[in-house]
């Protein structure tokens, strides 16, 4: 028990050190804390820390210091001390300035019940997600297993990882390592830093807990962004609270919410935090005409680029469509506005961040996806059925039926909502239009990415716009001085809306809840992995099955013999891909081990251990003399191919 | 809106949730609560027949039997506590061209491993 309490304390202190301290001191050092409310400061500190940790660990990895506990902690402390020193030097020169953020003063005027309502919604959000995570906290998910492998590589070697995989060639042999474009270093560095400093095992609750934290911060980011977008509305807080209601306790589990956290979809999770924060900073920079805030937005954009290619790609489209929306809405003033943007852009802060970013990309570390193959993969005519766009019904289901209905209405209202402010209106329209087209008609934009992945990003703007529509309707029905409805009917309307939304959102939650944990089966897989790791070496080749084994992607965290070790029989549909020639060896070697092709595969790859589910796949091996069953448990068996 | 209170409340809720989830995960990660047991050859690659019973179940009595093809060669019983494992030495001297199967039974549940020598 004392060990558990100690390890928990160290973990939470590490989370604060890695995911809050650097960002907070960055904002303090650049004296931007005055520009934000306390809640904005809280969320921005968190988001900035993720970007800063990425850059810090990359620098350490490229330096002789290496990535160690001392170097990371030392780096964070050094950075914080420098920021603090800059803050005090600047503070002394500007003693007269008020140190109380303007937002805080206005915030205190808002009534107590709003705070209680927001806290209640946050409690419900965390409570419902915790109920879901209860059965998903034990690490078994495939994506998380892949990501934690690279995290462990960084933690074990103290170096930046080489993202490489080995594939089976046409002659059945294993090819030379080739680069992987799908993994982005920023997905792994914060986790590696936490694992190194706290000594927490990657096969524990810490990765999902960290993802839960990031996810909750993304909900708070949406909340503060909504406040900023509707700053001109007298119902600013009501819309923000309604957004929190639509994105917090309701639809709390389905993708991209808690399921993305438990499933280890790290890049999307961080992307869903950074995209709202970047929009918030761009919005503030343009409204308040502050180049320092624009530089901050660019800095976080670089952070996003080092974390997740799909999110960066999506954000680029959001940005592009926002400019178009702005130009259409404000066609009379666009040239004058463009001149002001140029003034903001050509400032020492912005140019400094831009130069630092370019130097970082060109000379220090280039993200793995910035190569021709990866760009070709994402851009062009849709190459698969899953990339040709969703149907309207599918998009409605992804967004949540009730939210979608109100958002449709909200989009119409938005086009006439000039009082919101030209930038707020443009960002909201640009955001929703970009994601709608990317999800429904990707071919119009030459986007070649799985449409359901793109559509998962639409949940946040849909929630904001739906909340806007909901509040707009209710407040219009009860405008100042005139009631269009009898108060009883007004109350009834409110409860009808509430019931419609809550039923839809809670039903979605109920559908997504797990029946049971897969820990039992996964633990057997991990036990078998320990067994095989101790009794084999790199000259042996293991083949495992992904279809019927629980937690199989975590086996490589035991062997630690490369990302492609052990070989894996993937989902059967992968072997029938008409658009791409796939290797068949991993399927043949388990499904039909007696065929000529399978024998060639065994010889070519040197496979001599097979890990399968005995209830499904043992019959074909038990008949063969050259296969020995050397390990047996309820849900996993290991066969050895004797020489 | 009182931002300070919102931040403090959120931090408290999160911390409570994290500690709860960590306790749950710790329990789920304890294989001794999963009522499973496994058997394996100590040396999977060579012809040695020493095998181990690893018990994480509530049952403690294990009956083992060694077959050469379909003929019983030897058998025995072992008492293994939950969380413990026991290696049983088996000589492979003089055995050729036979399938050696180790069958373990405990509480009505049977598992086997084998090698063809």
User: Which chain B residues have a beta carbon less than 8 Å from that of A536?
Assistant: 44-45
Interface of A with B in 19-78 (CB under 8 A): 37-39, 42
Provide the greatest CA pair distance for chain B.
Answer: 84
Task: Find all residues with CB under 8 Å of A623, minimum gap 6, and list them.
Answer: none
Nearest CB partner across the interface for A126, out of B13, B22, B38: B13
Statement: residue A279 has pLDDT above 80 = yes
User: Which chain B residues have a beta carbon less than 8 Å from that of A207?
Assistant: none
- For A225-239, A272-286, A331-345, A508-522, which range has the lowest pLDDT when averaged over its residues? A508-522
Are residues A558 and A611 in contact, defined by beta-carbon separation less than 8 angstroms? no
Beta strand A567-569 pairing with A627-632: unpaired
Are residues B15 and B22 in contact, defined by beta-carbon separation less than 8 angstroms? no
pLDDT band at A288 (very low <50, low <70, confident <90, very high): very high
Alpha carbon of B82: minimum distance to chain A alpha carbons (Å): 15
Statement: residue B21 has pLDDT above 80 = yes
Judged by CB atoms closer than 8 Å, whether chains meet at B6 and A609 is answered as no
Question: Which pLDDT score, from 0 to 100, does residue A508 have?
Answer: 72
Question: Which pLDDT score, from 0 to 100, does residue A382 have?
Answer: 59
Task: Look up tokens 């909200």; give the residue.
Answer: A410
Does A328 map to a domain?
yes
Across chain B, what does the average pLDDT equal?
93
Alpha carbon of A188: minimum distance to chain B alpha carbons (Å): 21
Are residues A78 and A70 in contact, defined by beta-carbon separation less than 8 angstroms? no
Residue A101 is given by DSSP the state: -
Question: Which pLDDT score, from 0 to 100, does residue A343 have?
Answer: 94
pLDDT band at A446 (very low <50, low <70, confident <90, very high): confident
Question: Which pLDDT score, from 0 to 100, does residue A104 have?
Answer: 47
Domain final residue, candidates A512, A535, A558: A512
Which residues of B make CB contacts under 8 Å with A? 1-7, 9-10, 13-15, 17-26, 28-29, 31, 34, 36-41, 43-45, 54, 99, 111-116
Are residues A273 and A218 in contact, defined by beta-carbon separation less than 8 angstroms? yes
Statement: residue A67 has pLDDT above 50 = yes
CA A396 to chain CA centroid, nearest Å: 22
User: Which chain A residues have a beta carbon less than 8 Å from that of B39?
Assistant: 631-632
pLDDT digits (tens, 9 = 90+) for B84-117: 999 999 987 877 888 999 999 999 999 999 999 8
Are residues A395 and A290 in contact, defined by beta-carbon separation less than 8 angstroms? no
Statement: residue A379 has pLDDT above 50 = yes
Judged by CB atoms closer than 8 Å, whether chains meet at A609 and B44 is answered as yes
User: Which chain B residues have a beta carbon less than 8 Å from that of A631?
Assistant: 38-41, 44, 113
Angle at alpha carbon of residue A252, lines to A246 and A255, rounded to 5°: 110
Nearest CB partner across the interface for B25, out of A204, A216, A540: A204
Domain ranges, ordered by start, for chain B: 1-31, 34-116
Statement: residue A374 has pLDDT above 60 = no
Question: Which pLDDT score, from 0 to 100, does residue A375 have?
Answer: 56
Question: Which pLDDT score, from 0 to 100, does residue A377 have?
Answer: 57
Question: Which pLDDT score, from 0 to 100, does residue A373 have?
Answer: 58
Let me know whether A491 and A399 are in one domain. Answer: yes
User: Which chain B residues have a beta carbon less than 8 Å from that of A632?
Assistant: 38-40, 111-113
What is the average per-residue pLDDT within A127-136?
92
Alpha-carbon span A634 to A406, nearest angstrom: 50
Does A104 map to a domain?
no
pLDDT digits (tens, 9 = 90+) for A449-488: 788 888 999 999 999 999 999 999 888 877 666 666 666 7
* Bridge partners, B53 (sequence order): B39, B86
**CB contact, 8 Å: A120 with chain B?**
no
Let me know whether A357 and A320 are in one domain. Answer: yes
Alpha-carbon span A633 to A300, nearest angstrom: 49
Q: How many CB atoms lie within 10 A of CB A482?
A: 7
* pLDDT: which is higher, A539 or A477: A539
Does A163 map to a domain?
no
Alpha-carbon span A496 to A406, nearest angstrom: 13
pLDDT digits (tens, 9 = 90+) for A382-437: 566 667 788 989 999 888 888 999 999 999 999 888 889 999 999 999 999 999 99
Count of domains for chain A: 2
Nearest CB partner across the interface for A126, out of B17, B28, B113: B17
User: Which chain A residues have a beta carbon less than 8 Å from that of B45?
Assistant: 535-536, 540, 608, 640, 642
Alpha-carbon span A34 to A290, nearest angstrom: 12
Let me know whether A455 and A388 are in one domain. Answer: yes
Let me know whether A356 and A394 are in one domain. Answer: yes
Measuring CA to CA, how many Å separate A283 from each of A31, B87, B114?
A: 19, 68, 68
Does A630 map to a domain?
yes
Alpha carbon of A38: minimum distance to chain B alpha carbons (Å): 6
Does A568 map to a domain?
yes
Phi, psi of A189 (to 5 degrees): -65, -45
CATH for B34-116? Answer: 2.60.40.10
pLDDT digits (tens, 9 = 90+) for A350-373: 999 999 999 999 999 988 887 655
Judged by CB atoms closer than 8 Å, whether chains meet at A642 and B116 is answered as yes
User: Which chain A residues have a beta carbon less than 8 Å from that of B112?
Assistant: 629, 632
Does A167 map to a domain?
no
Alpha carbon of B112: minimum distance to chain A alpha carbons (Å): 7
* pLDDT: which is higher, A381 or A643: A643
Does A155 map to a domain?
no
Alpha-carbon span A520 to A501, nearest angstrom: 37
Q: Which helix (H) or strand (E) holds B36?
A: strand B36-41
Q: SS3 letters for A203-265?
A: CCCHHHHHHHHHHHHHHHHHHHHHHHHCCCCCCHHHHHHHHHHHHCCCCCCCCCCHHHHHCCC
Which residues form the domain of A596? 519-641
Interface test with A, best of B1, B12, B45 (most A CBs within 10 A): B1
User: Which chain B residues have a beta carbon less than 8 Å from that of A130?
Assistant: 17, 20-21
Let me know whether A390 and A277 are in one domain. Answer: yes
Alpha carbon of A165: minimum distance to chain B alpha carbons (Å): 27
Helices (H) and strands (E) in chain B, counts: 1, 7
Angle at alpha carbon of residue B64, lines to B60 and B69, rounded to 5°: 160
The first and second tokens of residue B98, run together, are: 């036979």
* pLDDT: which is higher, A497 or A628: A628
Judged by CB atoms closer than 8 Å, whether chains meet at A216 and B112 is answered as no
Alpha carbon of A123: minimum distance to chain B alpha carbons (Å): 7
Residue A379 is given by DSSP the state: B
Let me know whether A565 and A637 are in one domain. Answer: yes
Considering only alpha carbons, which residue of chain A is nearest residue B19?
A8
**CB contact, 8 Å: A539 with chain B?**
no
Alpha carbon of A207: minimum distance to chain B alpha carbons (Å): 11
Nearest CB partner across the interface for B24, out of A134, A237, A633: A134
User: Which chain A residues have a beta carbon less than 8 Å from that of B83?
Assistant: none
Question: Which pLDDT score, from 0 to 100, does residue A95 have?
Answer: 61
Domain final residue, candidates A458, A490, A512: A512
Nearest CB partner across the interface for B40, out of A237, A625, A630: A630
pLDDT digits (tens, 9 = 90+) for B57-67: 999 999 999 99
Are residues B48 and B92 in contact, defined by beta-carbon separation less than 8 angstroms? yes
Let me know whether A190 and A276 are in one domain. Answer: yes
Judged by CB atoms closer than 8 Å, whether chains meet at A632 and B41 is answered as no
Question: Which pLDDT score, from 0 to 100, does residue A419 have?
Answer: 87
Angle at alpha carbon of residue A480, lines to A474 and A486, rounded to 5°: 60
Measuring CA to CA, how many Å separate A398 from each of A392, A393, A432, A441, A506?
A: 10, 9, 14, 16, 14
Statement: residue A554 has pLDDT above 80 = yes
Let me know whether A503 and A579 are in one domain. Answer: no
Judged by CB atoms closer than 8 Å, whether chains meet at A39 and B6 is answered as yes
Question: Which pLDDT score, from 0 to 100, does residue A105 have?
Answer: 46
Judged by CB atoms closer than 8 Å, whether chains meet at A535 and B9 is answered as no
The first and second tokens of residue A247, run together, are: 């994105």
pLDDT band at A500 (very low <50, low <70, confident <90, very high): confident
Peptide bond into A566 cis (omega under 30): yes
Judged by CB atoms closer than 8 Å, whether chains meet at B25 and A205 is answered as yes
Are residues A50 and A266 in contact, defined by beta-carbon separation less than 8 angstroms? no
Alpha-carbon span A382 to A444, nearest angstrom: 10
Question: Which pLDDT score, from 0 to 100, does residue B91 have?
Answer: 86
User: Which chain B residues have a beta carbon less than 8 Å from that of A531?
Assistant: 40
Across chain A, what does the average pLDDT equal?
90
Judged by CB atoms closer than 8 Å, whether chains meet at A630 and B17 is answered as no
* Bridge partners, A379 (sequence order): A447
Let me know whether A482 and A580 are in one domain. Answer: no
CA B27 to chain CA centroid, nearest Å: 17
pLDDT band at A100 (very low <50, low <70, confident <90, very high): very low
């Amino acid at each position: 028990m004392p060990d558990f309490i100690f390890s928990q304390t160290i973990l939470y202190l590490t989370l604060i050190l890695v995911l809050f301290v650097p960002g907070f001191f960055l904002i303090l050092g650049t004296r931007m804390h005055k520009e934000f409310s306390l809640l904005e400061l809280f969320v921005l500190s968190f988001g900035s820390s993720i970007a800063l940790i990425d850059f810090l660990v990359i620098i350490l990895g490229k330096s002789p210091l290496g990535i160690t506990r001392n170097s990371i902690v030392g780096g964070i402390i050094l950075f914080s001390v420098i920021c603090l020193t800059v803050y005090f030097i600047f503070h002394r020169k500007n003693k007269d300035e008020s140190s109380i953020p303007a937002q805080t003063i206005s915030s205190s005027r808002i009534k107590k019940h709003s705070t209680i309502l927001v806290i209640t919604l946050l409690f419900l959000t965390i409570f419902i997600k915790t109920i879901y995570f209860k059965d998903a906290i034990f690490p078994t998910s495939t994506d998380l297993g892949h990501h934690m492998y690279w995290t462990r590589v960084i933690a074990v070697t103290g170096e930046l990882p080489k993202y490489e995989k080995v594939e089976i060639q046409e002659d059945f042999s294993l090819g030379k390592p080739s680069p992987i474009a799908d993994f982005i270093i920023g997905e792994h560095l914060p986790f590696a830093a936490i694992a190194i400093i706290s000594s927490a095992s990657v096969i524990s609750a810490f990765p999902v807990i960290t993802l839960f934290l990031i996810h909750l911060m993304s909900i708070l980011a949406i909340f503060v962004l909504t406040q900023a977008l509707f700053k001109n509305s007298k119902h600013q807080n009501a819309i923000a609270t309604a957004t929190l209601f639509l994105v917090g306790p309701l639809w709390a589990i389905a993708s991209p919410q808690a399921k993305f956290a438990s499933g280890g979809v790290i890049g999307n999770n961080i992307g869903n935090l950074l995209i709202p924060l970047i929009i918030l900073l761009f919005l503030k920079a343009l409204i308040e005409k502050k180049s320092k805030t624009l530089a901050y937005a660019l800095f976080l954009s670089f952070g996003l680029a080092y974390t997740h290619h799909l999110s960066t790609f999506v954000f680029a489209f959001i940005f592009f469509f926002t400019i178009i929306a702005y130009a259409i809405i404000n066609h009379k003033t666009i040239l004058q506005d463009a001149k002001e943007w140029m003034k903001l852009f050509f400032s020492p802060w912005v140019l400094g961040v831009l130069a630092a970013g370019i130097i970082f990309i060109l000379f220090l570390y280039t993200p793995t996806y910035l190569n021709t193959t990866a760009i070709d993969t994402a851009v062009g005519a849709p190459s698969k059925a899953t990339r040709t766009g969703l149907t309207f019904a599918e998009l409605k289901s992804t967004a949540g039926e009730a939210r979608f209905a109100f958002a449709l209405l909200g989009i119409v209202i938005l086009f006439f909502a000039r009082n919101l402010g030209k930038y707020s209106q443009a960002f909201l329209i640009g955001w929703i239009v970009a994601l709608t087209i990317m999800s429904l008609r990707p071919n119009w934009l030459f986007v070649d990415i799985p449409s359901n992945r793109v559509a998962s990003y639409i949940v946040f703007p849909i929630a904001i716009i739906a909340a806007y529509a909901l509040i707009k309707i209710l407040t219009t029905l009860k405008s100042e001085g005139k009631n269009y409805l009898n108060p009883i009917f007004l109350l009834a309307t409110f409860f009808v809306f509430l019931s419609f939304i809550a039923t839809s959102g809670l039903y979605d939650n109920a559908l997504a809840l797990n029946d049971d944990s897969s820990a039992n089966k996964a633990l057997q897989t991990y036990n078998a992995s320990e067994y095989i790791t101790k009794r084999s070496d790199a000259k042996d080749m293991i083949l495992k099955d992904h279809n019927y084994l629980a937690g199989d992607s975590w086996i490589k965290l035991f062997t630690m013999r490369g990302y492609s070790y052990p070989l894996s029989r993937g989902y059967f549909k992968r072997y029938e891909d008409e658009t791409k020639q796939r290797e068949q060896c991993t399927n043949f070697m388990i499904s039909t081990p007696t065929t000529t092709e399978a024998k060639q595969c065994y010889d070519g790859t040197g496979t001599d251990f097979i890990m399968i589910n005995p209830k499904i796949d043992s019959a074909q091996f038990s008949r063969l003399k050259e296969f020995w069953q050397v390990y047996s448990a309820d849900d996993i068996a290991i066969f050895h191919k004797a020489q | 809106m009182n931002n300070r209170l919102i931040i403090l409340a959120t931090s408290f809720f999160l911390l409570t949730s994290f500690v709860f989830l960590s306790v749950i995960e710790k329990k789920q990660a304890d294989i001794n609560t999963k009522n499973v047991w496994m058997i394996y050859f100590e040396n999977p690659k060579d012809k040695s027949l020493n095998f181990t019973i690893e018990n994480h179940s509530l049952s403690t009595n294990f009956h083992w039997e060694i077959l050469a093809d379909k003929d019983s060669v030897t058998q025995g019983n072992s008492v293994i506590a939950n969380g413990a494992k026991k290696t049983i030495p088996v000589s492979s001297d003089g055995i050729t061209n036979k399938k050696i199967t180790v069958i373990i039974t405990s509480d009505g549940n049977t598992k086997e491993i084998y090698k063809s020598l």
